Structure 1
Amino acid sequence: MTVLSTLLMIVQVLSALAMIGLVLMQHGKGADAGAAFGGGASASLFGASGGANFLSRSTAVLATVFLASTLALAFLGYQRPQSSGGGSVLETVPAAPAPAAPAAPVEGAPASQIPGR
């Protein structure tokens, strides 16, 4: 189980970092108005609007991967180890010895040493 949880943790961290990078590369809503007046954004790698679709779909895919890995890690972390006995933890504790019975009075002992007198 530790190999699977380690692999899921790596997938989660890498998807989170990639998602942060993709969100930072996306343009805001006001960036389109700047491109209309010669802002230079229309000469990007994907063209005027091609980058927005690619980046937003990539972000959605990475968000899905991140959510799935988070749920899988939560499921693996919640599972409890199965005991071999199948019972309670208290069943495996050894029984305490019974308390010793009070000693019977010895004949010839003084009355001050006999309990109850």
Structure 2
Amino acid sequence: MTIVHNILIAVQILAAIAMVGLILLQHGKGADMGAAFGSGSAGSLFGASGSANFLSRTTAVLAALFFACTLLLAYFGTPRAAGGDSLLERAPITAPASQIPAGNAVPAPAAPASDAAQIPAK
């Protein structure tokens, strides 16, 4: 289980670093106004509008991968009970003292009779 745990941690760290880098590369919504007036972003690597689609989709995929790794790490990190899955299955079954009727108490067993008591005296 430790190999799976280590792989999940590594994937989560790489996804987080890649998401930070991609988010910092993206331009805000106000940058589109400058591109309309010829600010020079039309000559970028992905084209005028191609970078927004590529970077935003890649960020969404990395975010989904990050959340999946987080959920799996939480699932594998939760300790499991050895007796059962539920607290109710492991709870002792006892009746409260208030539900036992007072008049129907079971008498204590009698002491066994000794041999001396059974021999008649003459």
Match of 1:53? 53
Match of 1:92? none
What CA distance in whole angstroms lies between the structure 2 residues aligned with 1:82 and 1:6? 24
- How many percent identity over aligned positions? 61
Q: Deviations over 1:65-117 (max 9, x none)?
A: 0000000000000033748xxxx8xxxxxxxxxxxxxxxxxxxxxxxxxxxxx
Cα deviation, residue 37, structure 1? 2.2
Confirm whether residue 75 of structure 1 aligns to residue 72 of structure 2.
no
Letter in 2 for 1:9: I
Match of 2:30? 30
What CA distance in whole angstroms lies between the structure 2 residues aligned with 1:55 and 1:27? 10
| TM-score computed with the length of structure 1 as normaliser | 0.67
What CA distance in whole angstroms lies between the structure 2 residues aligned with 1:12 and 1:81? 27
Match of 1:21? 21
| TM-score computed with the length of structure 2 as normaliser | 0.64
Q: Which runs of 5+ in 2 are unaligned?
A: 84-89, 91-122
Match of 2:5? 5
Match of 2:102? none
Number of residue pairs matched by the alignment: 84
Q: Secondary structure at the match of 1:45?
A: coil
Runs of 4+ in 1 over 3 A off after TM superposition: none
What CA distance in whole angstroms lies between the structure 2 residues aligned with 1:36 and 1:61? 29
Letter in 1 for 2:79: Q
What CA distance in whole angstroms lies between the structure 1 residues aligned with 2:25 and 2:82? 47
Cα deviation, residue 34, structure 1? 1.0
What CA distance in whole angstroms lies between the structure 2 residues aligned with 1:44 and 1:59? 19
What CA distance in whole angstroms lies between the structure 1 residues aligned with 2:82 and 2:26? 47
Match of 1:109? none
